[in-house]
Structure 1
Amino acid sequence: MSHLPDPANLVHGTGLSTTSHLQKVLVSELARLSQLTVTPLARQALSGAGPFETALRRDAAQQGGAVIAEYKQASPSLGPFAQGTPLLPQLRAYQEGGASAFSILAEPAYFKGSTKDLQAAAELGLPRLYKGFVIAEAQLAEAEATGAEAVLLIARVLKGHTAAFAKAARARGLEPLVELHDLTEVGFAQEAEARLVGINARDLSTFTLGEPTAAPLRRAFPDAVLIRESGLATPEDARAALRAGFDAVLIGEALMRSADPRGFLKRALAELRTEVS
C-alpha cells in the first residue's frame, strides 16, 4: 500500500474558493469515499508506456494527431446537457470517427458519471481514461477495478503529492495523465515523471502560458505526450491545437452536443492525415 496524504487535508488545502466548481466536486468526492468499497484487479505494475500512451503516440505519428473522445453527460457549470445519451452508440461513433482512446467520466454527483460506463466500454477495445477527481488510494483502486488503462491526476489538487499519486497509479497498472492548469504546476508533473501531460486552459494565449502553442510544455516535457484538454468547440479548433504542437486533444462537450460525432472527428482528422501522408 502506498503512502498518500489524508484526502481531507488535500481537499481543504487546495486554496480554491468554496464556491468554485472544482472545489464542490472535490468535497462531494470526499464524502463519497466513506461509502466506496471496491475489489481491485490483480494487475501488474507499469514501468513504461501502456496501451493508452501507445495508442496516442501511434496515431499522432500516423495521422498527425490523436483524439481522446470523452463521454460526459453533465458538468457542474452546464448541468445535465447530454444526460441519457446512450453510451455504446456514442462510443462507437467516436471509434468510427477515428478516436484513439476514450475518456469516461466516473464522478457521479456533478458529471453523472459511472464506473459501469468504463466497464461497458471495454468491449470496443480502445484504451480508457478514468476521468475522475482522484484524492485517495480508494479511487485508484476503483479505476483499477474498472479495467481502465489510464487515470487523471489533477496537479492543481494534488500539488506536491502528484508524484506519489503517479507512483501509486503505476503500481496498479494505471497510466497517469497529469493535468496542468498553468505553468506554475509544471514542476509537479516533472517530479512525477509524467509521460502523459494535459493542459486544461481554455485560452492558452492568456492563461499564463505565454503563447498559444504547445511550445512551453514541449520545452518542459520534451518526450511526453502533450494533450490539449479544453476549449475545442469545432473540428477546426482540434486541428489548430494539433498543428500548434500538441500530440493529442481531448474533446468532450462538443462531441456530446454534436448531432454527428463521427463526422466531427473525421473532419478534425481529415486534413491532418493528408499532411502526414
Structure 2
Amino acid sequence: MHPKIEQIVQKSKERADALSENKTHTICNDRRDIFESIGLACKKGHIPIIAEVKPASPTGKFADVNPEIASQIACDMENAGAVALSVLTEPCYFEGSIENLESARKNTSIPVLRKDFIVDKSQMHEASSDLILLIAGVLGKKLPEFIEIARRRNIEPLVEVHDEKELEYVLECDTNLIGINNRSFETLEIDLETAEKLIPLVKEHDRKYNQKHLIIGESGVKGTDDATRMIRAGADALLVGTYLMEGNLKEKMKHLIEANKNQEIV
C-alpha cells in the first residue's frame, strides 16, 4: 500500500473513532436500482457513466464544493446522462462530506454511491445512499462482514479491487458489483491494462459458476478512446471523476456516453 493511501486510511480510522455511537440510520427503503439504470443506458446504445462529484484529490483541487454546489453539479451530471452519481465523503484529502452526499441525493433521481475509505462499522451507518464503496485492499478479511452490513441496510456494495489476488478473494464474497480500479494501490500509477487483465477473470468465473457480476471500470478514463477501450475490455459501466470535474462537464459527458455510437465496439 502506497504511503499516501496509508495516510488516508489512518485519517479515516481517526474519523471513525470520533463518530457518535448514537448516529445511526435505518434501512434505505427507497434504494435506486443501479442495475436498472445501467440497463436503460445500454438499451439506448450509451456507455453507462457513473459521474463523480469530486471536489479534490491528493494531487489537486477541482472546485470549492458545499452542499448547494454539490447538488448543482449532481443535477448537471444527471441531466447530461449519468446513470449514477459517485459522491466523495472523505473530508481530509478529497474535501468531501456527508452533507454533499445527502444534498446530491435529495435533488436527483438516479442512484448515488458513497465513495470513501470505509474502515469501521460505525461508518456504515453515517448516511443513507443507494450504494457504498468497499475497498478490498483496505478491509481485507473484514470485507464479508461489511458487505453483510450494507445488505442489511438495503445498500448495494460496490467492492473495489486492484489486482488479481484481491479479485480472487472478492469473487468468493457475496457481491454483485465489482469495481476494477486501474490505479495501483502500491504506486498510484494508472494503467488501463489492469482492467483488461482482470475483467476476463471475472467473466471466466461467472461462466464456470453460472454467476453474473456487474463490472465497473474505475480510474484513467480521460476521453472517448479510454471509454471505448474499457467497454471493449468488458466493463459494464465506467466511474469517471477527474476528467468530468476539470470542466465542460456536459460536453464531455455527451462525448463519453455516445462514444460507442461512433466507434464499433467488439
Common fold by TM > 0.5: yes
Partner of 1:132 in structure 2? 116
Partner of 2:15 in structure 1? 32
Number of residue pairs matched?
A: 249
Partner of 2:222 in structure 1? 233
- Partners of 1:213 and 1:244 within 8 A in 2: no
1:268 maps onto 2:256 in alignment = yes
1:87 maps onto 2:70 in alignment = yes
Letter in 1 for 2:134: L
Distance in structure 2 (CA, Å) of the matches to 1:153 and 1:30: 14
1:42 maps onto 2:26 in alignment = yes
Which of the numbers 131, 135, 141 marks the counterpart of 1:160?
141
Distance 1:254 1:59, change over 3 A: same
State how 1:3-18 maps to structure 2 within 5 Å: 16=1
Partner of 2:236 in structure 1? 247
Distance 1:84 1:117, change over 3 A: closer
Identity over aligned pairs, percent: 30
Partner of 1:219 in structure 2? 204
Partner of 2:187 in structure 1? none
Distance in structure 2 (CA, Å) of the matches to 1:252 and 1:171: 29
Which of the numbers 90, 93, 99 marks the counterpart of 1:116?
99
- Consecutive unaligned residues of structure 2, counting only runs of 5 or more, are 183-189
1:68 maps onto 2:50 in alignment = yes
Secondary structure in 2 matching 1:63: coil
1:141 maps onto 2:129 in alignment = no
Distance in structure 2 (CA, Å) of the matches to 1:272 and 1:160: 39
- Partners of 1:57 and 1:225 within 8 A in 2: no
Secondary structure in 2 matching 1:161: helix
Which of the numbers 159, 163, 169 marks the counterpart of 1:178?
159
Distance in structure 1 (CA, Å) of the matches to 2:257 and 2:82: 9
Secondary structure in 2 matching 1:192: coil
- Partners of 2:29 and 2:154 within 8 A in 1: yes
Secondary structure in 1 matching 2:23: coil
Offset of 1:132 from its aligned partner? 0.7
- Partners of 1:130 and 1:152 within 8 A in 2: yes
Distance 1:105 1:244, change over 3 A: same
Normalized against structure 1, the TM-score is what?
0.81
Partner of 2:186 in structure 1? none
1:98 maps onto 2:81 in alignment = yes
Offset of 1:28 from its aligned partner? 0.3
Distance in structure 2 (CA, Å) of the matches to 1:138 and 1:261: 34
- Consecutive unaligned residues of structure 1, counting only runs of 5 or more, are 1-15
> Deviation digits for residues 37-65 of structure 1, max 9, x if unmatched?
2633321699xx96123322332344343
Distance in structure 2 (CA, Å) of the matches to 1:204 and 1:79: 22
Secondary structure in 2 matching 1:26: helix
- Partners of 1:33 and 1:138 within 8 A in 2: yes
Letter in 2 for 1:28: K
> Deviation digits for residues 4-36 of structure 1, max 9, x if unmatched?
xxxxxxxxxxxx35xx22111110011111221
